[in-house]
Chain A
C-alpha cells in the first residue's frame, strides 16, 4: 500500500509545525523566563516522541485499524494543544530563581514539562502511525518527516521575522488544521464530518481574540521590575528571531543607566529611554544634543581608559547596541568610528525611530554603522584601528547567575582575539570590559584566553602588552599591539586615582597598588594575572576552583566555569546563600540529561522487561538487542553531527541565526532526500550497499573535521553569498547519507519483523532526547572535534549491528 501524496504532505506539515513549535517554545521561554530552558524544551519535545513510540509499539494492531480517524484526531489534537498547552504552562507559578530555596518549584517545573510534551506526543503519533501503517514505504514517510522538519526550520525563522511570537501559536494551530483537512479530503473517503470539524477549529483559531493569547512575563525579569515604577510604560515593541525588543519611557522618575560608574562621579546621565531584549538585558538610548560634555558621565567608567592612554583616531566598537560606547568615543573627540551591531532592529531604533532623541548619532558623518556579526565584519575588511572596543554586552544578573554557561560565544576565543589584534594598528589597543564577579570567573578566563592568543601570535612576553583595571562593578582588560610604555602606565595610574579604580595589572606593577579603592578579601584578579603570565599558569588554572581554561573556537564557552570537584563545597554553602556560586545553566543541563536518561530507561527498558511479546519480540529471538543498539546509536550520532556542524559553520556563516537555519534546513532536507533515495539501496541484495552511506558519513565527517581550518580559510576569502552556497554544497552529501540508515533498517525490519517498527521509532526518539543534551556537555568538556569523532564511532557501532537486524 502506497501513501497518497496528500498524506505525505500532511505528515510533512505536522513535522514542520512540530519543529517550528520547538523553536517557538525556546523563544517564548526566553521571553517569559530565561533562555537556559532551551535544553529542557528540546528534551521535552523529544520525550513526547519517545512516549508516542512506546504507546504505538504496545497497541500497534489496535491503533492501526483505526488509522484514518486516529491520524486526523492526532493532527487536530496537535493543532489545539500547541497554543493551549503553552498558555496553561505559563500559568504555573514557576520561578527558577527560587528553585534552590523552595523544592515545590521542582514540581512546577515537572508540571510545565509534562504539559508541553503533549503537543509533541500528538505530532509523533502522526509520524509513528504512518510509519507502521505504510510499513512497506517507510522511506517515503521518513522522507516526508525530515523534509517537513527542514521546511519548518526555515519557516519558523520567517514567521519570527514577520509576527510576534505569541501570534505564531495561532499560525501553528492553523497549520495542524490544514494538515488534517488535507488528509480528510484527499486521503480518506467518508470524511465530511472531519472536514467540518477542521473548519470549525480553524475558524476558532482565527476568531479567537488576540488578547487571550498574551505572554505572562516573570515578575522578576528586569522589564517587569522597571514597569513597577510609576509613570513607566512600554512605548514600542518589536520582534525578530533575534529577540523581542521593548522600549520603555519613564515619565516621572528619570531612568539612569550608567553601569560601572565611578564612586567619585558627580555627573549624571541625561534623559534616557530603556531598551529591553527579551524583557531583560536593559540598555538605554541616551538623549544627545550634540554637546559631548552632556555625556561626561561616560568618562567615569573603566571602559574609558584607552581614550586616556593616547589620542585615538579610528576605533571599532563590536556590539554598538543603543550607542553609549559611540557617545563615549564622541566625548573623547574620536573622528572615525566604525560600529558593528548584530540586531538591525536595535540599529533602526537609534538610526530612525528615535533618531531625534539620540541626536542623529547613527547618522553622524564620522560614525559608520554595520549590521553584522563581529567576526564576520572583521573577516570581510582589511581596515585597521587604533582601538577595538568590546563593551559590556550582557546584563549583570544573567551573567552572574551562570545563565550563559552553555551558550557558545565566538566573540571571546583565542582565535577571535588573534583576529581582533590583526585589525589593531601598531601601538593600538584591544579593550574588553566585563562585569566584576566575586569570586572572579570570566575575567581570569578572559585573561587566560588573551594571553594564549598573544602567545599564539608569537609574542614572547605577553605581560609587556597587557593592562587591566577594575572598579567596584566592572573591569577593563587591554591588549596592546606593541610594548606598554612608561607614559601609558603613568596615565593609567592617574586615570585610576582620579576615579577610584584599582590597577589590576601593568608591566612592573607591585601588590601594594592593587587593592586600595575597591578592596577585596584578596586581590584576586591581580593574583590571577601574575600567575597566568608566569610559567606556573597551568598549575594555577588546575588549582583554581572554577574552570578558567582559555576559550577556543573548538570550545567556545567563556561563561562555563563549572568544576565538579568544587560542587561539594558549593553545595555546603547553599544554606548560607551560596547559590550564586552555582552555574545554574550547566546544572540545568545536567538535570535535563538525568531526566532524559531516566525517561528513556522507563520508556525503553520497562516495556522490554514487562511486555516483551506485546512489543512484537518473538520468544528466543535475539535480534531486538542489536536493533536497540542500532537505533540508539543512530539517534545519538545524527544529532551529534548535526549540532557539531551547526557550530562549526557558525564560524563560516558568522550570523548564528542564519548559520543555524541554513545548516539545519540543509541537513534535514537532504536527509529527507536521502531517505527517499534509500529505497533503491534497500532493494539491493549486496550488503555493501548498506554500508556505503555509513562509510560516506564517517569519511566526510572526518575530512571536514580535520580540514575545517582550510575549508574555513578558503570560504572566508569568497563573497557572502558564496559562503552560503559552499556551505550548502558541503553539508548536502553528508545530510543525504545521514538520511539513509534509519529508513534502510526499518525497511529491513518491515520484511523480517514489522511489529517492531513503532518500537524502533520510540528508541530513536529517546536517543535523540539524550543526544541533544549530551552533545552540548561533550562539546563543553572536550570540544566539537571530539564530538564529531564520537559520532563516527557511533555510526560504526550501528554499521556493525546492521547485518544482525536482518537475521529473522
Chain B
C-alpha cells in the first residue's frame, strides 16, 4: 500500500512538472506564432510605405531578427499579452518600448553588416539592442535611467544576448572607447542631435533618430556621413501620406 502511495505521489509530481513544462512550451509556441504574424503585418506595412522608405520590402535579415527576438521578454509582465501587437507599450518611468514596425524601419535604415559596430543611446527595455545584436557583432547600448538600465541588462541576459555591451549613464558623449561606429540609434532624443555622436559616426556611417513624443513617432531622421565627412539628413515619414496629390 505504501509503495502504491509512493508511486502515486511521484506520478503526480512528474505530471505537475510535465504540465508546467508543456504549458511553458505551449506559451513559447504561442508567442512564436504571434511573432510570426506580427512580422507578416510589418512586412505588409513596409510594402505600403515603400515610396517613403525608398525600398520595396523589409530587409530579410531584419525580418529574421524580428521573428527571432522574443519581444515578450522585454516588456513588463502585465504587458506580455500585448507584446506582439504592433503598438508601443509602457515600460515604466514614463518610457515606452517602440512600435515594432518603427523598430523594424529604424533597424533597416541602418543597413548593418555582421562585422559592424553599432551604438544605441537609450536602451529602454533592451529590445532594440537585441534586434541590433542579431544583425551586428558589436552592440553598445547606454541608458541614463538606472533602474531601466539594470532591468534591460537582465532582459538581454535572460534572452541570451550576453555579447551586448550595456552601460548606465549619459549618452550625449556616446561611447568614446568603442567609437567610431558604423551605425547609431538615438532612441532618447534630446532637443538636438549631440555633436559628439556625429563625430563618433564613421565616414559612410548612418544614424537613425525617431522624432516625436512617447507613443507617437512623428518621423524618422536618417543622418548619414559620407566619406568626406559631409553630413546630411533624410526625414522619413513612417506612413504612406502625401499632403498634396494631383496637379495644382
Contacts and interface: CB of A to CB of B under 8 A. Distances in A.
Interface in A527-575: 527, 531, 536, 539-540, 543-546, 569-570, 573, 575
B214 A544 contact: no
A225 interface: yes
Contact of A519 (B198, B215, B233): B233
Interface string B111-146: 000000000000000000000000000000000111
B165 to A, nearest CB: 20
A517 B224 CA distance: 10
B192 A260 contact: yes
B237 A439 contact: yes
Interface in A570-600: 570, 573, 575-581
B147 to A, nearest CB: 9
Contacts of B51: 521
Max chain A C-beta neighbours (<10 A), residue from B170, B211, B240, B244:
B244
A439 B145 CA distance: 33
A357 B176 CA distance: 31
Nearest to B53: A521
A634 to B, nearest CB: 42
B232 A519 contact: yes
Nearest to A398: B213
A576 to B, nearest CB: 5
A579 B214 CA distance: 12
Interface in A501-541: 516-522, 524, 527, 531, 536, 539-540
A258 B191 contact: yes
A393 B81 CA distance: 41
Interface string B173-196: 000000000000000001111110
A263 interface: yes
A253 B243 contact: no
Given A101-B215, A524-B243, A576-B101, A500 B231 contact: yes
Interface stretch (A198-206, A264-272, A766-774): A264-272
A256 B48 contact: no
Dominant SS among interface residues on chain A: loop
A260 to B, nearest CB: 7
A88 B192 CA distance: 38
B60 interface: no
Nearest to A537: B248
Interface string B193-224: 11100100000000000011111111101010
Contacts, number: 163
Contacts of B102: 577
Contact of A576 (B45, B170, B214, B232): B45
A440 B243 contact: yes
A713 to B, nearest CB: 38
Given A577-B102, A580-B217, A261 B243 contact: no
Interface extent on B, as a size class?
35 or more
B86 interface: yes
A294 to B, nearest CB: 16
Contact of B193 (A257, A261, A576): A261
Contacts of B223: 263
B248 A531 contact: yes
A264 B94 contact: no
B217 A261 contact: no
B234 A536 contact: no
Contact of B239 (A517, A520, A540, A581): A581
Report which residue of B86, B214, B216, B242 has the largest number of chain A beta carbons within 10 angstroms of its beta carbon: B216
Given A228-B93, A472-B235, A400 B244 contact: no
B87 interface: yes
A212 B212 CA distance: 34
Contact of A263 (B49, B193, B235): B193
Contact of A268 (B146, B170, B195): B195
B213 A401 contact: yes
A292 interface: no
A259 interface: yes
A627 B191 CA distance: 58
A496 to B, nearest CB: 13
Interface of B: 45, 48-49, 51-52, 86-88, 90, 93-95, 99, 101-102, 144-146, 170, 172, 190-195, 198, 211-219, 221, 223, 231-246, 248
Given A252-B170, A580-B216, 12 more contacts: A219-B94, A220-B213, A253-B170, A256-B192, A260-B192, A397-B212, A521-B51, A521-B237, A521-B242, A544-B244, A569-B241, A576-B48
20 contacts: A95-B215, A220-B213, A220-B214, A228-B144, A258-B192, A260-B192, A267-B195, A438-B235, A517-B232, A521-B52, A540-B248, A543-B244, A573-B240, A576-B48, A576-B238, A577-B99, A577-B101, A577-B239, A578-B239, A581-B239
